Every structure is written in structure tokens, then in C-alpha cells.
Chains A and B, each alone.
Chain A
């Protein structure tokens, strides 16, 4: 899922300066799962804004803010100065497309594509490089999980299974080593991974997929 985190209230209030009628728009998908921008978080944020003295704060939570189909009904709502989206950056942008004349502000910081590790703990797993290599790295992604995105093994700073950059972070290459060992595939570590083609990643410019087979 896309993992996000709410911005500090002071920052949000700063964005809303001068606005009196705000519609807070939540999303039922990823940000609900990671407890950053679902119906509940919308209610909490809206209350905080009312307490801060805003004249009118509306609340709406849609199924998926990344899908215009679910956003379209919002156009019926009238009389707002601005929208505050508690979706990821994708939802903020799509709402902006739907309301070109109204400011749409981000209430969250979109952090990463990741998993729910434990109660209240999420961590990154994928950088959407566009050309998956997990078959070669024991199912653990060094692009997302090694601080230096190394493709040919650990740097000299891997110590006791942890990354030198942050002792809370597992060394991706330690994980890869352990996984390949468990699978009996340690020989994979001997193959040189040549420079990666990053053109499928964001480096190739904004990406778009068009599929004729599902197009109308």
C-alpha cells in the first residue's frame, strides 16, 4: 500500500490561512489502512480545525481518491473556499483536476510503498523502479531497502544485520543473504549485476501505461 503520515497541524493551519469554509476529503483505501487519512482521521482533523476557529468544516470520505469515478459526486458540494485532502499525493492531484478553480491542499506527507510491519509500524518495500529484480535478490528489494540501493552486495557498513545509516533499519543485503541461504541459492551472489536500466523508473520521465486490451 501507499503509506502516508499526517502533516503537523500547525503546517496544515498555515496552508489554510484566510480560508473559512474547508472540505476535508478522506480516502478509504491505503491511507485508511495506514491510519493517516481515512474516515476516522478526517473526523479528528475536522474537529481540530473547528476548534481552531474555522467557520465551516465539511467531511467527505470517498472509496478511492485516485479514481475519478469515486470523486465525481463531490462536485455537488458547494460553498467551500478550498479542499483539504487526506489522501496520498495522487488523490490531492486528482481532486485538483476535478476542482480547477479551488485550491486543494495536502494534509498528508506521502512516504512510501510499504507494508504494515506491526501495530503502528510501517516500512518501505518498493520504489516502483519499473523493472522488477526480485527474482534475482531472494525476494528482497535492495533498491528500496538498501540505503545506497546497491545491487551487488552489502557496503562495508553492514554490521550485525543493521544498516550503518540507521541502526533501526535492517541491512537489505543481510536479509538477502539469509533468504538466499534458506533457499539454497547462495550461488546467486556470485553473479555480477550490471548497471541497471533506470529508464523504466522515474528517471525516464513521468510514466504512463496504455493497454489496448482493456481500453474502450
Chain B
């Protein structure tokens, strides 16, 4: 056991894991975080809290994670390389560990030009793979600079993978590098294009990587054709087949259809060898989580030690 988080226990016990994701509010509103916690409590094993996602300023991931933890929801700290250099990252991670946070997802971060401060300077002192390496060094008792850490932070380390990004042939080598750097679990970009995801998983299995890291497939339940069209046209690195759009267009009740599509998708993903769980990203639709998890047959969540 690396950190002994609930997520780690669920995955190491061989259960099909379920993660959620939450964007913190754009104001000092703790209640908004507590309110959202209720949709996840008991229905997912852990909830990622984004780190200024799409480069828009929000309550910090670590602060939000602490609030979620107080609400009885296990959090996953997201840490990007866009806003902090290696000093700030390590300092924040020591703080996160001192607060009892045990999961960290290491990301590069969306470019600031997409956000609310496009004139900001970005950092990118290190990249996501170097961050994974650095967090692994830290839990082994060394700072990135080499000095000893007397009380090392113990984290269950996550990374992202995008099977839909290009060049496709680099996607599996990049995953292999993350694993070599110390990554324990992977959460993928949202899957709509199942054939491409399956092809990527095939290449992952060819190298046996699914046995070295827990891969959780990204699922985004949506209730509008507009959201799908937006993602298809404007979000780089997301692949949405036309059939998904057509299906949503024809639906009499788009929200119902959205749930149905997500449930079917989860079932398809479960069948793919090497998929260890799903990562649900209900952008602005957190309240659908309990129903989605139940209808996908993933409720109740497994009981692990110390729950």
C-alpha cells in the first residue's frame, strides 16, 4: 500500500473503481463545495477536484479537497504545472499530505490563453511526467532537489492519458513513461469514441501496461446536444463520433438519453480488458451521479478497511 487511500484500496482489491470530478466555485463559497459533496458521498470511491481548470481561477484544489474530506468524501488533489514552479508544487504537496490528503493527480494544465487571465505568464518549470517523477521522489523521502524529507508525504499518484490526442502512436509510449516515472493510476480523457479507445487499450495490453497501472476510463454524462457539438468542434483532444450527436438530436428527452448513453458506455468500458474503473466527469451536472452509478450497476460501492 503506497498511501492507503480508499481509492488505492478499492483498486488493489480488484474492485471496479468509480471516481467523480468536481470543479470548485469561483468565489470563497465553502457551502457550494459542501453542497456538491452530497451527490458523491457513498456513490464514488474518490472525487477529483480540479486545479483552476481551463485556466479559470477557482478555489484551490487542496482547500476544496479538505472540505470534501470533512464532508466524508475522499478527494483527489489535482496539481498542474501551469501555475507553480517546483518549489511551490512541493510545498503545496507537503501541505496536502499534512492535511491528510492521499491522492494526487499530476497534470500539465490547460493553457492560460483559454481562461480568465489570458495575459498571465505561465510557469511550466516541469511537465506532468516530471511532476509524477517528483512526487514519487518525495514519497521515497527526497525532494526534487535531492535533499532528504524527514516525514515523506505518502501519495497514491495519478496521471492522465488521452487516447484521442495525436500523434496516436505516441500515446502508449507516453503512458509507459508515466508508469516508469512512478504513476499508480491513470484517468483518461472522456471516451465517446469507443473503437479508438479500444484500439488504444489493445496497444496498452500488448506492452502489458494494464498490469502495471490502474486505468480508469473517462465518462462524461451530458444532457444536451449543444454540449456535445461544442466538445466536438472546440475542445482539442476530444473525439465525438457523429452517431453520438445524431442520437442526442433525435432524443425526445435529452437528459434521459444522456443517462442512457453514459450507462451503456460504462457497460462497454467494463468489458474492455485492462479497464480498472471509470472516472465520471459530470460537468455542471453533479446531481446525476447517484442515479448514474446505480443504473450502471456500480452501487453500492465496495467496503474496504477503515471505511
Contact = CB atoms under 8 A, between A and B. Distances in A.
Which range contains the number of A residues in contact with the other chain? 20 to 34
Nearest to A203: B125
The interface centre, meaning the residue of A148, A149, A159, A192 with most chain B CB atoms within 10 A of its CB, is: A148
Contact of B144 (A153, A160, A195): A195
Given A149-B124, A152-B130, A198-B125, A189 B82 contact: no
Given A159-B237, A164-B236, A194 B130 contact: yes
Nearest to B162: A156
A173 interface: yes
B173 A148 contact: no
Contact of A151 (B113, B130, B162): B130
B297 interface: no
B252 to A, nearest CB: 33
Given A164-B237, A194-B133, A195-B125, A154 B111 contact: no
A165 interface: yes
A190 B176 CA distance: 8
A109 interface: no
A192 B166 contact: no
Contact of A148 (B82, B130, B134, B165): B82
Interface string B134-157: 100000000010000000000000
Interface of A: 147-161, 164-165, 171, 173-174, 177-178, 189-190, 192-196, 198
B236 A153 contact: no
Given A157-B236, A158-B166, A192 B122 contact: no
Given A192-B129, A194-B133, A148 B124 contact: yes
A102 B181 CA distance: 56
Contacts of A148: 81-82, 108-109, 111, 122, 124, 127
B204 interface: no
Contacts of B126: 195-196
A158 B129 contact: no
Contacts of A189: 170, 173-174
B167 A154 contact: yes
B127 A173 contact: no
26 contacts: A148-B109, A150-B127, A151-B127, A151-B130, A152-B128, A152-B129, A152-B177, A153-B170, A154-B166, A155-B162, A156-B237, A157-B165, A158-B166, A159-B237, A160-B166, A161-B166, A177-B169, A189-B173, A189-B174, A190-B176, A192-B181, A193-B129, A193-B130, A194-B133, A195-B133, A195-B134
Contacts of A177: 167, 169-170
